[in-house]
Structure formats: structure tokens, C-alpha cells
């Protein structure tokens, strides 16, 4: 993004830098769709005969986190950034939380989730004190070993934190981060849960529901929108499960929207600075992409994009302020149309409203006419 330096992200470019670090990527199906038409990605050359419409989107909201990115896709632009805590949470927040849960905490500083459980996991197991930490995002994270603090109790702690974090401390998410294992071999489990603030205004998801359409959230979409505008939420155990649930949803669902999030790119690869893993995730998605396309009906439309960057090649383990790819494919949709550089992720919401015959969306510009 033009303002990446303001976020400490100058030079971040998730796809290009990952490809450069590995000497190229092998993504034949995404290449066919036109991914290589967006940038000079080693191993993914442009296709003048690509099968999808393609473009790039800029983020208009102030921030670079999951909530802000998803909200903007759904048509809600965040004008004021949410609070972040580069030096940890203030004393009054921690004391109120400790009183609410009846226990002292350890940590309270920005850290990678995997790093902090290695640093403090043994002390946590010895004392029973939950680990509190944050990141460059507006998040209050609580890590606990499942055999020390059962997951349901961890969720209850998160709910108590969510009630405390209001007003000037209204962070976008309180996140439960359960883990298992022993010192030196801890691993985070798939029972993570996000306790998000609800969108302050209706999104295009609400508009679809109000018009009688189905909206299915797969992965962490339900959590991201605090279940607002979601008729059915399906949690998943990683990217491959999200892909399988998406294919099943296409076969089973009536008219409406399926909104899926491939969380492994963040949690397993990007935040762990693992370009090889990131490339594996891309390849895995690429290999299964035909299954999604084959399941689609003639009037279905597939939109592939991202809510932020998470460059695994930089020293930072946080999200990165980047432009995101936009690929739009359908069996009867236009082929190899350049949708250009879009001013906001909200163009997706405007397009969805247009395609479903809803009232014109107040944010963003529809690209339905180009597809």
C-alpha cells in the first residue's frame, strides 16, 4: 500500500517476496485464472488467455487486521483505527481482568503466539496463570494449556475480558489460544475462538439476510462478524477442511453467499515467518481449486481475495499493509478482463449488492458490469 511505511511495512509483498525467497511458485490453476497478470511473481507468469477477471484492491480502512479487512469486503469502511498496545495493556485493564477471573496473569506484551508459549508455557503450567499478550493488531489474546485451564474456562475468561475491553480499550478481538504439549514441544490446538466486536453498522451480509438469501460463513467468518449477518456458521480444522466445507456448501446451498476464510495462511505460515509453508498452502489451495470450480453452477461466481498481507519473509510476524489480489471466475463469466486497481475492498460488497438486486451499496463501486 502507498501508506505501508506508516505501519512499518514498507517493502512487504506477500506473494512476490514468498516466490522470490523460494525461487518461484508452482500454481498452475491460479496462474490460469490470471494471478500472474497482477504482478511479477516468479514461477507464475502472466496469461494473456486467462480464465478469470483480475484486479488489485486497496484498503481504504485504517488498519491491517482481520476484522477491518473482512468488514471492508462486506462494505463497512473503518475510518478510525482501533486501539493497539505496543507496550502491553495498561495496569487498569490487567487489574480488572485479574479481578474478574480471580487469578494473576503473566506476559502482557506483544509477541508471536508460538514464541510466547515457548517463553512462558512452563511458568504457566507451574503456576496456573494464563498468558496474556497482544500483537500489532487490536487484539487481547489469552493462551492456556488445555490440561491446566480447560477450554470452556478459557472461553469464559475471554468473555470476561470482552466485557472489560470497552470504550477507549474496545479492541477488535479477544482471542482464546489453547495449546497442548510439554516445554520444548508446545503446539497450539484448533480450538481457538475469536470474540469479536460486532460491526457498528449493517454490512452487505445483513442486507442479503434481510432479502431472504442464505449467508454461510466457513472457517472463522462467524467469529469475525460476531455472527451478525450470518445464517449458518461452520467452524473448520484448517485450510483443507475449509475447502471441503466450501465444496459441500456449493452442492447443498440455495441462492446466497458462501464466505470462506483460509486461516492457515495466517496462523501456520505467515505469523511464523515460514515461506516454505506459505508456498505449500498456496499449492494445496491451487490443487483443490478445480474441485470448487467443478461444483459451481452456471450462474455461480467465485471471488478470491485477501483481507490483508502477512509477508512471511520479513522480520515482522504481524500482518502487513498491502494491496490484495482480486480474481473473479464463473462458468459463464467474462474471461481475462482487467478490473484494474480498485480503490477499496468494499467494491466486493457493492458488486454483491448489484448481482443480488439489492439497493446500491453506499461504499465501493460495483464491478459486476465487467464480469
Q: Cell numbers of 192, please?
A: 481457538
User: What does pLDDT average to over the chain?
Assistant: 96
Q: Which domains does the chain have, with CATH numbers?
A: 4-76+199-370 (3.40.720.10), 91-196 (3.30.70.1250)
Q: Cell numbers of 254, please?
A: 440455495
Q: Is 320 exposed, middle or buried (0-12, 13-18, 19+ CB in 10 A)?
A: buried
Identify the pLDDT of residue 97: 98
Is 313 a residue whose pLDDT tops 90?
yes
Identify the pLDDT of residue 67: 92
Mean pLDDT of the region 125-134: 97
Identify the pLDDT of residue 181: 96
Give 190's pLDDT tier (boundaries 50, 70, 90): confident
Q: What is the residue whose three cell numbers read 439476510?
A: 209
Q: What is the residue whose three cell numbers read 450462474?
A: 299
Q: Provide the terminal-to-terminal Cα distance of the chain, rounded to the nearest Å.
A: 26
Identify the pLDDT of residue 137: 84
At 86-95, the pLDDT tens digits run 999 999 999 9
Crossing angle for the helix pair 275-295 and 239-252, nearest 10 degrees? Answer: 10
Give 271's pLDDT tier (boundaries 50, 70, 90): confident
One DSSP character per residue, 57-88 reads E---SS--SHHHHHHHHTT----SPPP--TT-
Mean pLDDT of the region 322-328: 98
Is 237 a residue whose pLDDT tops 90?
no
Is 236 a residue whose pLDDT tops 90?
no
The torsion defined by the Cα of 197, 203, 209 and 212, in degrees rounded to 10, comes to 170
Mean pLDDT of the region 165-174: 94
Give 165's pLDDT tier (boundaries 50, 70, 90): very high
Q: Please state, in angstroms and rounded to a whole number, the distance separating the CA atoms of residues 321 and 187.
A: 28
At 241-267, the pLDDT tens digits run 999 999 999 999 899 999 999 999 998
Is 136 a residue whose pLDDT tops 90?
no
Q: Is 105 helix (H, G, I), strand (E, B) or coil?
A: coil
At 339-353, the pLDDT tens digits run 999 999 999 999 999
Is 234 a residue whose pLDDT tops 90?
yes
Mean pLDDT of the region 300-323: 96
β-sheet bridge partners, residue 180: 187
DSSP 8-state code for residue 198: P
What count of other Cβ atoms lies within 10 Å of the Cβ of residue 45?
Answer: 12
Q: Please state, in angstroms and rounded to a whole number, the distance separating the CA atoms of residues 315 and 301.
A: 37
At 67-109, the pLDDT tens digits run 999 999 999 999 988 999 999 999 999 999 999 999 999 999 9
Amino acid at each position: 500500500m502507498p501508506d505501508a511505511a506508516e505501519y512499518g511495512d514498507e517493502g512487504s509483498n506477500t506473494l512476490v517476496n514468498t516466490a522470490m525467497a523460494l525461487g518461484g511458485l508452482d500454481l498452475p490453476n491460479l496462474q490460469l485464472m490470471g494471478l500472474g497478470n497482477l504482478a511479477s511473481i516468479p514461477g507464475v507468469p502472466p496469461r494473456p488467455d486467462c480464465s478469470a477477471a483480475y484486479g488489485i484492491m486497496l484498503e481504504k480502512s485504517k488498519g491491517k487486521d482481520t476484522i477491518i479487512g473482512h468488514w471492508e469486503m462486506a462494505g463497512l469502511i473503518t475510518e478510525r483505527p482501533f486501539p493497539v498496545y505496543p507496550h502491553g495493556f495498561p495496569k487498569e485493564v490487567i487489574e480488572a481482568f485479574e479481578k474478574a477471573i480471580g487469578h494473576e496473569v503473566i506476559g502482557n506484551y506483544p509477541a508471536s503466539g508460538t514464541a510466547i508459549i515457548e517463553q512462558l508455557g512452563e511458568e504457566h503450567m507451574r503456576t496456573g496463570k494464563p498468558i496474556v499478550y497482544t500483537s500489532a493488531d487490536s487484539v487481547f489474546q489469552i493462551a492456556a494449556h488445555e490440561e491446566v485451564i480447560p477450554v470452556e474456562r478459557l472461553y469464559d475468561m475471554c468473555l470476561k475480558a470482552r466485557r472489560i475491553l470497552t470504550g477507549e480499550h474496545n479492541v477488535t478481538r479477544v482471542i482464546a489460544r489453547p495449546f497442548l504439549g510439554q516445554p520444548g514441544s508446545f503446539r497450539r490446538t484448533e480450538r481457538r475462538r475469536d470474540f469479536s466486536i460486532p460491526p457498528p453498522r449493517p454490512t452487505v451480509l445483513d442486507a442479503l439476510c434481510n432479502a431472504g438469501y442464505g449467508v454461510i460463513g466457513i472457517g472463522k467468518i462467524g467469529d469475525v462478524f460476531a455472527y451478525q449477518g450470518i445464517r449458518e456458521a461452520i467452524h473448520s480444522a484448517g485450510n483443507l477442511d475449509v475447502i471441503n466445507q466450501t465444496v459441500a456448501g456449493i452442492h447443498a446451498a440455495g441462492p446466497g453467499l458462501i464466505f470462506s476464510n483460509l486461516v492457515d495462511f495466517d496462523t501456520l505460515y505467515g505469523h511464523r515467518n515460514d515461506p516454505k509453508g506459505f508456498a505449500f498452502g498456496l499449492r494445496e489451495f491451487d490443487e483443490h481449486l478445480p474441485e470448487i470450480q467443478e461444483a459451481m453452477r452456471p450462474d455461480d461466481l467465485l471471488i478470491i481475495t485477501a483481507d490483508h498481507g502477512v509477508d512471511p519473509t520479513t522480520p515482522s510476524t504481524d500482518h502487513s499493509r498491502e494491496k490484495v489480489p482480486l480474481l473473479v471466475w464463473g462458468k459463464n463469466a467474462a474471461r481475462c478482463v482487467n478490473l484494474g486497481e480498485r480503490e477499496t475492498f468494499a467494491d466486493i460488497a457493492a458488486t454483491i449488492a448489484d448481482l443480488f438486486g439489492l439497493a446500491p451499496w453506499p461504499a465501493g463501486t460495483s464491478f459486476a458490469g465487467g464480469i
